[in-house]
Amino acid sequence: MEPQKVDLFIMTNGKYFESNHLIPIRDRLLEMDDSKWGIIQTLQFKDPTISLIISLLGGSLGIDRFFIGDTGLGIGKLLTCGGLGVWAVVDWFLIMGATREKNMEKLRQVI
Amino acid sequence: MSSTLNRNKLYIILLIACFAGYIWIYYNYAYNLDNFTNGVNTCIIKQVTGIPCPSCGATRSILSLLQNNLAEALYWNPIGIILVIIMIVSPVWIVFDYIQKKDSLYVFYRRFEILFRNKYIAGIAIFLVLANWIWNIQKGL
């Protein structure tokens, strides 16, 4: 793929990924065929900041975990009142990283 | 190392959760036998808003169940029964998987997740949780 397109992707979507993943993503995209550009452009990623806001507001109901697609853990949080409040607080710090990992998983399915 | 949820990570989370649950139940069972009113309140929602959350009352439900009082357990919160089943079944299942070197619980968990992505099943589940929540608020837990 052309470097300009790859850099455009990195610039617009960089905030959705862990910083240590950006270089591998860039290298992988550069190797890839141009025909995949359309699919990659249409991928929708979850914003880590939004998931943090949801975690702060509805964390003890597990809504943050439902939002990023961890349905099972979300149900676990919901049934236990956010893990007796402990898990809910722990997730305030973990949820942004978890969101970025989920985005990476989504991108990996395509590239 | 990737932080995505794999078999071992899920089992560790489940075991920690079950273990914390046992300690919590034991603590409440040993120290708060009188009416369960002076227990420690860990629910963030209840402390902030004064309104009980959908799973408030689960501890009292499990304690009632420990005293063989199923009706009272259902009255406090039906979620308590689900939690008891999970807390009993999952450690046994994990040990079974560990001995047999299988991942049947992990496969079950993934299937369960996919099941709840079905909009009808999710809708029913959301309805039940909301109904339980309204009931909790009415009971004034």
Question: How close A31 gets to chain B, by Cα (Å)?
Answer: 23
* Residue that the structure tokens 């880590």 belong to: A48
Task: Look at B129 and A105 and tell me if their CB atoms are within 8 Å.
Answer: no
The interface predicted TM-score of the complex, written ipTM, equals 0.80
A76/B2 CB distance under 8 A: no
Q: Could you read off the pLDDT tens digit of each residue along chain A, which spans 111 residues? A: 788 888 888 888 888 998 888 888 888 888 888 888 888 888 889 999 999 999 998 888 889 998 988 888 888 888 888 888 888 888 899 999 999 999 998 888 888
Calpha distance A80→B39 (Å, rounded): 16
Distance in angstroms (rounded) separating the CA atoms of residues A37 and A28: 12
Distance CA A30, CA A70 (A): 31
Contacts of residue A98 in chain B, CB cutoff 8 Å?
A: 3
Q: Is residue B134 part of a domain?
A: yes
Domain limits for position B70: 7-139
Supply the angle between the helices B104-117 and B119-139 in degrees, to the nearest 10. 90
Domain tally, chain A: 1
Quick check: A60 and A88 in contact, CB under 8 A? yes
Residue B1 lies in a domain: no
Total of domains in chain B: 1
pLDDT digits 0-9 by tens, B19-41:
988 888 888 877 765 545 555 67
Containing structural domain, residue A54: 3-108
Q: A71 at the B interface (CB within 8 A)?
A: yes
B2 falls within a domain: no
